[in-house]
Amino acid sequence: MPSNLTTAFDTARWQARLDALRAEHRVPGASLAVLVGGTVHELASGVLHRGTGVEATTDSVFQLGSIAKIYTATLVMQLAEAGELDLDAPVTDVLPDFSVADPEAVQGITVRRLLSHTSGLTCDFTLDTGRGDDCLARYVEAAKGVALDCPPGTALSYSGIGYNVLGRIIEVLTGLTWDEALKQRLFEPLGLERTMTLPEEALRFRVAMGHLGEPGQDPEPAPAWDLMPRSAGPYGRVIASAGDIVRFARMHLDGGVAPDGAPVLAPGTVAAMQRREADCPDKWSVSADGWGLGWSLYDWNGVRGYGHDGASIGQYAYLRVAPEAGVAIALTTNGGGARLLYAELFRELLDELAGVRMPDAFAPPAVPPAVELAPFAGTYTRAGVVITISEHDGAGRLVYEFVDGMKDFSPPIEAELVPVSRAVSGTTTETVFAASGVGAAFSEDWMPVVFTTMADGSHYCCIGMRAAPKAA
């Protein structure tokens, strides 16, 4: 840790700050864990369920959504470290029957590209393949016909299918289900007693309920605790306390060593996961400047960091690690303006404990540049999502609609588009708009919408790190 920073953590002050920000942003309940100076501090605020009034406590567990991907990536890297897996070999070396809708793309899909979201496999393909131990095998088989977002290796497009394929690779190489592999190879060695993957396991603990509602109003309990099937595990189903998230991150901070000194990963493997594999055209949706082997990578005005975000139905989780200061912070929430709470609280914590100044919130400039919308108008599609861009009375309009297996996750998002910037990088053109009125769960105030034109003339609309090709 730099000499001008403190390792002291004023629990009472930060508890008061958590309470105040949680209430201000109408988040029903939250749990915060901070690793600084080698000590984990845990705080909680609010209620787990507004209907029952059950209090949120530091041992409460929340759904982590996509933070699950880091656990999956860690298992994959264990296997690569042991020589059981070649990161740069085609997936078909381990899964001979693996295929995708474009047969010519199969050999270009490697484990490294799956880890770094550059495989071209899409994200929002959700399929309930049952509760059996074969659920991942059945999912990967069913995903064969799902269209790619883009050719392998050409762009970063956040991928749920890719991480389920990684989960299936783990099963084939270990002879265990993904759930059991996590228990035996991560949860137990790290002493993560409040981390699990299955709903019935969570019933032993105080469990958070997600809440939904309009911005600026107190949200109400969601109609269901979870809409994700068991097959969503590798990309989205880990349940944990905030303290356990930080203890997991601590292993990565400590060079792969468990609390008892046993190696979980080699230091070189830990470092490899944090090295940049791809740049992000959208640097705002999850604050990521790039992607490593699993980790989101951050450039905090010259200070390096890594972490991940996650969301499920009405629950949002955030993990940030500042390695030079030895600081890790995890926040779990159950609805309301969770992203606003995260942004304000983490800006203050990282500034004080790690000397980090997080970038300002994404927003259009006071005087937006003149950008013609007509070239971007049309329909963009990927599995589970249809995006329609149009112009009305001189203003850009976006409709983001979930379809097929994703249709029950959220009502359509409608927003106005305000120009932000236009840039040419090599043979790629990127034009950025800001979408208003989408709600604090998706962004702080404005949602970035990035249009990319590739060297071959293909057009993409990137929202939430997911690239959708233009269909019409």
Residues classed as catalytic: 66
Question: What are the CA-CA distances from residue 224 to residues 120, 125, 174, 209, 239 (Å)?
Answer: 31, 20, 33, 9, 16
78 and 85 in contact (C-beta within 8 Å)? Answer: no
Round to whole Å and give the CA distance between 272 and 291.
11
CB 267 within 8 A of CB 98: no
The CA-atom distances, in angstroms, between 9 and each of 13, 56, 274, 330 are 9, 21, 27, 15
Residues 391, 70: Cα–Cα separation, whole Å: 39
Return d(Cα 91, Cα 113) in angstroms, integer. 10
Measured between alpha carbons, how far apart are the two ends of the chain, in Å?
A: 52
The rounded distance, in Å, linking the Cα atoms of 174 and 55 is 39
Residue 401: φ, ψ to 5°: -120, 130
User: What is the C-alpha separation between 387 and 58, in angstroms, rounded?
Assistant: 40
